[in-house]
Amino acid sequence: MLYYLSIKGKQKLKGSVCISGAKNSALPLLAATLLSKNKITLSNIPNVVDVKTLLKLLENLGAKTELNGSVVSVDTTPVKSACANYDIVRKMRASILTLGPLLARFGHCEVSMPGGCAIGQRPIDLHLKALEQMGATIELKQGYVVAKAPDGLKGTTIIFDKVTVTGSENILMAAALAHGVTKLVNVAKEPEVVQLCEVLRDAGVKIEGIGTSKITIVGSYGELLDIKDTKVIPDRIEAGTYLCAGAITNSKITITDVIHSHLESIILKLEQMGFGFETGENSVTLLPASKIEASDIETSEYPGFPTDMQAQFMALCTQASGTSIIDERLFENRFMHVSELARMGANIKLKGHSATVEGDMELRAADVMATDLRASSALILAALVAEGTTKVHRIYHLDRGYENLEGKFSALGADIQRLEE
């Protein structure tokens, strides 16, 4: 059944919204259950499609999983098969996170090459090169990565040519079971990577440099780990998306269950644009701006400005006074939302990886189409301020990464409904 979101414009928001667990932390932690000798319970799991897809893949491999609300238990002791089939992997590229753990545990595995996606080609060459440096042989056969390391993976020194989040996570998990010490250089520092490192450390893995770009891991020589039950960290991108919803409607809203330090670059940018903030123990309140100022943005790896927030800020910049320049430095095609925003009256010029966004634009409701997870949320933000009622189609993209989106927006006072196409 296909649905669309119907959103009435010219809305003010108010109140508070509770942020769910981070999809991009839940996914590597679920993959890490393949390293565990015991059953694990993960809490604060977001109820999103990508999590359900990875659980299906784990079950397909033989694992026993039980999901109750935001708590999931996973027992991978029955896992025998080491082949992650195309049918599931094609639905979610993050399935590639099973490659490192499966290879480290079984000495061989077949994982379907993830397709590209709307935002870019999304290669995995850095994942594969690192595993080869750890002694694996890698072949590509009929769209599958066929990896072998019959004597186990060997600790070594690996320098990532580029900072890669899932590449770092794959190799961290592989190194945890490797024979000997692995030194990783140019590792991603995203909070989701840090949480994975902390879970490995708490499982008894000797790991140094957590949170930095240089990490040393003493492998367990193939011994499965005693991974502890874990609460998934809050989703900083969901949190940033709701802050942008408050900002674009120039409303006072509060987001709760957040880790303030994970939001620094987003809050700093909103402060530069004229918004105020009050922070509580685990909450952040956005205060309206007397005037929304234009601001230039360049996406970069954490702790820089997140690429996953670029589309949402682009929608906000259409309401700022003045022109904003947005540079997308991580992905080659992450401007799919531009043409949809233009259909609502935005004036955005693209030149290579740079977008020039005119401010003070009166947006008008339209039928628009989601193309990738974060672009879709930008269309919702634009719809909140547009004249008339906007329909956002293909919202299956949203359901991949945002839990109960229309419920949360309604709780903030938005007039938003999920209707059948």
Chain residues that interact with ligand EPZ, rule: CB under 6 A: 23-24, 27, 94, 120, 122-127, 162, 164-167, 307-308, 330-331, 373-374, 401
β-partners of residue 159 are: 185
Whether 83 is a known active-site residue: answer no
Smallest distance, ligand EPZ to C-beta of residue 118, A: 10
The 3-state DSSP class for residue 73 equals strand
Cα–chain center distance at 311:
14
Question: What's the closest the beta carbon of residue 24 comes to ligand EPZ, in angstroms?
Answer: 4
Q: Which is nearer to ligand EPZ, 161 or 226 (CB)?
A: 161
Query: What is the Cα Rg of the chain in Å?
Result: 21
d(CA 116, CA 304): 25
- Residue 258 neighbours by CB distance under 10 Å: 25
Residues in Cβ contact with 71 at an 8 Å cutoff, skipping those fewer than 6 apart: 41, 42, 43, 45
Catalytic residue among 83, 117, 197, 317: 117
Nearer to ligand EPZ, 237 or 320 (CB): 237
**For ligand EPZ, which is the closer residue by CB, 110 or 308?**
308
Distances in Å between the Cα of 158 and the Cα atoms of 2, 101, 182 are: 45, 17, 8
Q: Which lies closer to ligand EPZ via its Cβ, residue 240 or residue 274?
A: 240
Identity of residue 69 = G
Q: How far is the CB of 204 from ligand EPZ (least distance, A)?
A: 25
Dihedral (Cα; 241, 243, 247, 253), 10-degree rounding: 130
| Smallest separation, CB 381 to ligand EPZ (Å) | 16
d(CA 319, CA 343): 15
* DSSP run (H or E) holding 214: strand 214-218
Smallest distance from ligand EPZ to CB 213, Å: 13
Tokens, residue 352: 């290579």
Q: Using the minimum distance from each CB to ligand EPZ, give the nearer residue, 250 or 299.
A: 299
Catalytically annotated residues: 117
